[in-house]
Amino acid sequence: MSRVYDDEQLAGAYERGNEMPEASLRAWVELIASYVQRTSPSIVEIGSGTGVFSAAMARWIEGSEVMAVDASEVMLAEARRHHPHPAVRYLSGEAEAVPAAAGTFDLALMSRVIHHIPDRARAARELVRVLRIGGRVVIRTTFRERLDALVYDFWPQLRAIDEQRFPGEEEVVGDFVSVGFTLDEATSFAQPVATNLAEYHTRLVSRPQSKFTHLTDEEFHRGLVRLEATARSEALGEPRPVLERYDVVVFSRL
Ligand SMILES: C[S@@+](CC[C@H](N)C(=O)[O-])C[C@H]1O[C@@H](n2cnc3c(N)ncnc32)[C@H](O)[C@@H]1O
């Protein structure tokens, strides 16, 4: 199947364009770790992209072993290059067919990937298979009803596009509960991704997210000019960090 992240330009841009300060990444890993119920856990990240979260979990969750699975060979190549770690194995695979034996993992992370998966119920069934009893799934996403990212201020047409792309919370919860998961928690968490708008602008120049593939070059450029102008006027006053909020839902396999 042809997928947007097989595009080498997007895969190459993703790593730098989606960086976040170390303190933010650490805060995310601490939140994820709070859902792990065993010491030295076995973790799978589905749709691991360039490996930022997989490597960070291996680094900060003591004794953890991480299998990082992605459907895109080009993203896996970026991950192996940018985020190698002795406790992380980067493997080619799909959410719907995880290359692991039944009952292998204590935790599965799906960060910014649920909207790319056409058959969520099938992916959820696959997670039931590969998780141990008591294992958990952490989904980090933006649900359709809470699309409030800063990008929509500069590319307003993206909101309607993302309303089509992102599932709602009820749909995702329904798919996971229908295959036997129990919903433990639905929350949200915000962390700074850039120290100010100018840094955020620099990050977005390379068009590093799949949502931007839905815009023409001209539409993208117009939004970027608006963002740059706002960043310039902000620079005259007190710079404010740019926050990104994500929804987090956690399920248990009983
Ligand atoms: C937006 S990136 C997220 C990367 C990383 N998890 C993060 O939060 O930065 C989405 C990733 O999911 C992968 N992906 C999309 N559909 C997938 C599927 N069905 N199975 C496994 N990976 C998939 C893409 O190749 C891409 O690397």
Band of pLDDT at residue 9, cut at 50, 70 and 90: confident
Supply φ then ψ for residue 89, to 5 degrees: -110, 120
Amino acid 1: pLDDT? 46
As a three-state string, the secondary structure of the chain is: CCCHHHCHHHHHHHHHHCCCCHHHHHHHHHHHHCCCCCCCCEEEEECCCCCHHHHHHHHHCCCCEEEEEECCHHHHHHHHHHCCCCCEEEEECECCECCCCCCCEEEEEEECCHHHCCCHHHHHHHHHHHEEEEEEEEEEECCHHHCCCCHHHHCCHHHHHHHHHCCCHHHHHHHHHHCCEEEEEEEEEEEEEECCHHHHHHHHCCCCCHHHHHCCHHHHHHHHHHHHHHHHHHHCCCCCCEEEEEEEEEEEEC
Angle of helix 169-178 versus helix 120-130 axis, rounded to 10: 50
Cβ-defined contacts of 218-221 (< 8 Å, 24+): 219/155, 219/157, 220/155
- Tell me, using a 6 A CB cutoff, whether residue 47 lines ligand 1: yes
- Tell me, using a 6 A CB cutoff, whether residue 116 lines ligand 1: yes
Band of pLDDT at residue 133, cut at 50, 70 and 90: very high
pLDDT tens digits, 162-212: 999 999 999 999 999 999 999 999 999 999 999 999 999 999 999 999 999
- Tell me, using a 6 A CB cutoff, whether residue 53 lines ligand 1: yes
- Tell me, using a 6 A CB cutoff, whether residue 94 lines ligand 1: yes
- Tell me, using a 6 A CB cutoff, whether residue 76 lines ligand 1: no
- Supply the residue whose CA is at minimum distance from atom 21 of ligand 1: 94
Which CATH number do you get for residue 213? 3.40.50.150
Which atom belonging to ligand 1 lies closest to the Cα atom of 210?
1
Q: Which of 1-5, 121-125, 183-187, 212-216 has the lowest mean pLDDT?
A: 1-5
Instruction: Decide if pLDDT at 4 tops 70.
Output: yes
- Tell me, using a 6 A CB cutoff, whether residue 142 lines ligand 1: no
Which atom belonging to ligand 1 lies closest to the Cα atom of 93?
21
Domain that holds residue 154: 4-253
Amino acid 11: pLDDT? 83
Instruction: Decide if pLDDT at 24 tops 90.
Output: yes
Task: Tell me how far the alpha carbon of residue 229 lies from the centroid of ligand 1, in angstroms.
Answer: 32
Amino acid 62: pLDDT? 97
Band of pLDDT at residue 2, cut at 50, 70 and 90: very low
- Domain tally for the chain? 1
- Supply the residue whose CA is at minimum distance from atom 20 of ligand 1: 94
Q: Which of 51-55, 101-105, 146-150 has the lowest mean pLDDT?
A: 146-150
